[in-house]
Copies of this chain bind each other. A is one copy, B any other.
């Protein structure tokens, strides 16, 4: 608590801008309330969440008539959410309904009951709007430039074609996981015939979409609870080293293995599958098959899991209202800045470490492992190296590692996330060891990591007393050795003494002995 105050010029001022909003997703499978605290355009964080499996779409089938039991459940849940918002003093509530409500013939009955009994106005999204908010979430939390976003809900499936980060075309199909389960796979284990009939049905729905075809250099991003559930099962099957779904690359072959695993099982047996979410066990198979057919239809052999969706899309529309469309200019930068704002300890020191480390980086010559991609990783590692201080000074390098891995850093791949986390993990001492994250890394990544870590550590040590006394660095690279001039008008004793204790990692990284001397402007 107190540490954080220190880092603010005027805490009360920042506090004054802090806003809170509640977003309620009146979904076909579950109702979700999420509370987000934010300063517009600057920082946001989820601060509360409630979920209730309402299964509004249950029993609706082709008749389009919402049944009494789920409707009562829906009203109760909304009353509860209203009470929750009131108790939490949240006045700003955005409630949006999707497929189940949209398609129900008796939707007005429900909407008026919610209005009267819970005092909440629910906005019913069209299929296009639903797709749009999924797209907003995807394009603001991944580096998607061109390709598709698919959002698999309980009632519907939305597909959006994205070109140059803009939504170009979209459609909503009634292929949600609850819907397809009820209509095509009501029994478990599912018979091969039933599975085939479901696959045939999905193909018939997708076949007319001639615009839903992979083209070179494009990616498929996928959202929704059933998709996350399937990806989690695959991660458990593969003993994946990271407990993070967002950004995970799900291969079609692995998804198909998960499908084969589920097919012969009862719902109760499915619940024993590692990674299975208990209240999704019944709809998990149909959901996975829908995703599989999408990949086959569009011609992708892998997809990227997006952990965000509709609710975040609604939020971004508010948070980024100054942009048109409301998307971040640079998702990766926004990600790092958001985490940095969350845990910032001493901004001036962090900025200075960034300056010194990038300056060293830019003075290296012709190192094939030090290109623009590595420079960006170094920047991110510098920005986040001290966030663990918000936990404790002792072992703060380990805490930074923990916080970075848990933040997920939307927009970065898991490999990049691992490299950034590992560089901060070793920013104080020791030679980097990739340990349990080895499985995420590429061939030369250990060497890349060593170089990034060496520069981060030198920069950190050159600002060891956190006062910016070493203003700049000049690096002279010779064949076997290098000389670092620490440019300072003040007393640079602490900086040079500290940096000198770490010349060994520079030598290990770059194969050169390093001398450090004080220099004046």
Contacts and interface: CB of A to CB of B under 8 A. Distances in A.
Interface string A359-396: 00000000000000000000000000000011111110
Nearest to A392: B406
A394 B465 CA distance: 34
A257 interface: no
Interface string A69-93: 0000000000110011011100000
Interface in A436-486: 464-467, 469
A274 to B, nearest CB: 13
Nearest to A387: B391
A126 interface: no
A240 interface: no
Contacts of A12: 5, 11-12
Contacts of A403: 391
Given A11-B12, A87-B465, A79 B2 contact: no
Given A341-B1, A344-B1, A466 B15 contact: no
A497 B465 contact: no
B2 A43 contact: yes
Interface in A267-324: none
A404 to B, nearest CB: 11
A211 B23 CA distance: 69
Contacts of A7: 1
Interface residues of A, number: 53
Contact of A393 (B48, B80, B83, B466): B48
A46 B6 CA distance: 15
A174 to B, nearest CB: 30
A399 interface: yes
Contacts of A39: 2
B2 A14 contact: yes
B37 A2 contact: yes
Given A392-B407, A406-B391, A465 B1 contact: no
B465 A37 contact: no
Contacts of A163: none
A108 interface: no
A4 B6 contact: no
Given A18-B6, A343-B1, A466 B390 contact: no
A266 interface: no
A18 B48 CA distance: 31
Contacts of A494: 80, 83-84, 87
A346 to B, nearest CB: 10
A47 interface: yes
A341 B3 CA distance: 11
Contact of A11 (B3, B11, B406, B491): B11
Contacts of A343: 1
A205 interface: no
Given A87-B469, A390-B390, A392-B407, A5 B6 contact: no
A341 B2 CA distance: 9
A48 B389 CA distance: 10
Contact of A465 (B11, B15, B18, B84): B84
A186 to B, nearest CB: 27
Contacts of A43: 2
Given A391-B406, A406-B391, A18 B2 contact: yes
Contacts of A493: 79-80, 83
Given A83-B465, A465-B84, A469-B87, A5 B5 contact: yes
Contacts of A2: 14-15, 18, 37, 39, 43, 45, 342
A407 B7 CA distance: 22
A358 to B, nearest CB: 23
Given A45-B393, A49-B393, A407-B392, A88 B465 contact: yes
A1 B342 contact: yes
A516 B273 CA distance: 33
Interface string A335-362: 0000001111000000000000000000
Interface in A123-155: none
29 contacts: A1-B7, A1-B8, A1-B341, A1-B390, A2-B14, A2-B37, A3-B37, A3-B45, A3-B47, A5-B11, A5-B12, A5-B15, A11-B11, A11-B12, A12-B12, A45-B392, A45-B393, A46-B394, A47-B393, A49-B393, A80-B493, A86-B491, A87-B465, A87-B466, A87-B494, A342-B392, A391-B391, A391-B403, A402-B402
Closest 5 CB pairs of A and B: A87-B465, A87-B467, A1-B4, A5-B15, A4-B4
